[in-house]
Amino acid sequence: MKNALICSLSVLALCATSVAQAAQITGEYIESRSCDVYTGPCFANGQIGQAGREALMAWKVDQGSWNGVDLAGMSAVLVLNAKDTLGFNPSFAVNPFPVKSVILVDEKASPEQREALVAFVKSSTPKLSDQIVKVDTAPITLVNDHLSGKGKLVAGDLARIETRAMSKKDCVCTNEAVFYPPLTKISNSQPAYALLTSYTGDGLNNTWEVNGARSAFLGTFRR
């Protein structure tokens, strides 16, 4: 009887593990804001409350599903417009809420995939995506080269990020560090220099373009 119980529990554990593995979703991530995230306290103090209200976050699914829908090869972008600097560091008290957002989903996604992509983005950023004002579609490409620090996001003519690796010349006060963490949980996080960050879409009553800032992250995700 004892052996049978142990066998049954082992089967249940194996099934649970199989379900968890089947539910996993993995891929590439890129993010960039309108303020420096890799910086020193003195520079951050000069930007707090003055910059960083805007951000782009993007995911490209390499493999996996969400809510039972296969999303391999699909991408999504979350565009943020906050009340205050989107920087969560205990050294500075900011309150960026409410945060309004637009979600861009891959134009090649089916209706079911679009719904699943939106659900995935909302689950990944529950506090930042609770006031979605618009969901739009666009042709989206996201390519990260983690060794070189080069990342490129293109969402039609609506959103764009281009990065390169940080270099010694990007250290101004020699006290730089990752001052603001990424806006969502990711793996293999590395700060990057954003050559360009832009959003030209509608829905937020705000468009922006930032050229040359220590404002980006490259990473991967696994859920």
In a domain, 12, yes or no: no
In a domain, 180, yes or no: yes
pTM of the model: 0.88
In a domain, 21, yes or no: no
Q: What are phi and psi of 101, to 5 degrees?
A: -145, 160
* Distance (Å, whole) CA 85 – CA 62: 31
DSSP state, 91? T
User: Can you give the pLDDT of all 223 residues of the chain as single tens digits?
Assistant: 444 434 443 433 434 343 434 448 999 999 999 999 998 777 776 777 788 999 999 999 999 999 999 999 999 999 999 999 998 777 667 889 999 999 999 999 999 999 999 999 999 999 999 999 999 999 999 999 999 999 999 999 999 999 999 998 888 777 788 999 999 999 999 999 999 999 999 999 999 999 999 999 999 999 9
In a domain, 14, yes or no: no
Tell me which residue range forms the domain holding 45: 27-222
Which of 30, 66, 26 shows the shortest CA–CA distance to 154?
30
Which of 103, 112, 124, 19 shows the shortest CA–CA distance to 71?
112
R_g of the chain computed on alpha carbons: 19
In a domain, 22, yes or no: no
In a domain, 161, yes or no: yes
In a domain, 178, yes or no: yes
The tally of domains found in the chain comes to: 1
